[in-house]
Amino acid sequence: MAGPRTHTSGDAARLRSLRQRAGARLPERRPQCDPTDHLTATHGGMIPTKVGASSPIPFGRYTLIERLAVGGMAELFLGTAPGEHGFQRQVVIKRLLPNLAREPVYTAMFIDEAKLTAKLSHPKIAQTYELGRVGTELFIAMEFVDGLDVLAMLRELAWQRRRMPTELAVWVTHEVLDALDFAHNLKDEQGNSLGIVHRDISPSNVLLSRRGDVKLVDFGIARAVGPGRHHRTKSGTLKGKYGYMSPEQVIEQPVDARSDLFSAGVVLAEMLCGRRLFAATAEIDVLLMVRDAKLSRLDQYGGHIPGSLDAILRKALSKDPADRHASAADMRDALQD
């Protein structure tokens, strides 16, 4: 695919223009969709729960404005951080649920997440500012991205019976792969690879800011799989959104960076086709489709995809990791060639 090899401030303006063409305003009401086809996901496994107007709540040095989402382990709030002379900065506060605050396993997982994400200092990854505690409540203060996620854009386009422009889908994927290339190659102080794998690449975890930036978010279930490193995931549990897992995640085999490339391929396919790639009424059927890398829906709805892009996409969606691109950089560069 043809594309730019360097990225300048003009690229942000270009993305803003493409977003405007795609349509970014969300209607208040939406039609019911076929449950086997509906583009649904939750933000980092969290359910959006905006609570409407309420009084700001002091929380340490922050002020919580509204709750954005809640999940099984934590809840997200829009907040503000104060500064001198009336300065305020919007942040996202991720707070461990009160009922888990005294559970050592969950507090350790939460602290691990903060320590890992604090290392991910990259312009295409939402930043972690602070791990803190207010009373008995642990929290992480993170960058607030003013915009919308890819899932919201795809839902709006489906409402309008339109597809995302191919150029925009490729550009967004390029930026996600750039972020993944950084994360996958991150090293510790001794120069050893951390072996970070995101494990939850999905439309709701890719944000498009109003400034024209693409931001990858939610490394909450990311795993450092480098030599000598351990993780706290319980055996027999699947981490991630089923329709965006890799085949090796589904069968609980060891994963590496190529697992994220499969998931990025799923997101790219859905941006291009405007439909779920792995869709079924029962979760077990979704898992079986992912396990077998069954691409019948890409065959059905992807006829408009240019041949060169289709080849890149199908390579990323190979069942065997050895048949995929060797790295995020390789897949990113293939989109440019």
Residues taking part in catalysis: 200
User: Burial of 145 by CB count in 10 Å (0-12 exposed, 13-18 middle, 19+ buried)?
Assistant: buried
- 333 vs 200: CA distance, rounded Å: 22
Residue 14 tokens, joined: 């270009």
Q: Among candidates 198, 298, 178, 220, which has minimal Cα distance to 43?
A: 220
Q: Residue type for 197, please?
A: V
Core vs surface per residue 20-37: b (16+ CB within 10 A) or e: eebebeeeeeeeeeeeee
Coil/strand/helix, residue 95:
strand
Residues 68 and 48 sit within 8 Å (Cβ to Cβ)? yes
Whether 258 and 321 have beta carbons less than 8 Å apart is answered as yes
- Which amino acid, one-letter code, is at 75? E
| Contact assessment for residue 310 and residue 258, using Cβ atoms and an 8 Å cutoff | no
Cα torsion angle, 107, 111, 116, 117, sign? positive
Q: Are strands 47-48 and 196-197 parallel, antiparallel or unpaired?
A: unpaired
For residues 190-224, one letter each, b for 16 or more C-beta atoms within 10 angstroms of the residue's C-beta and e for the rest, the string is eeebbbbbbbbbbbbbbbbbeebbbbbbbbbbbbb
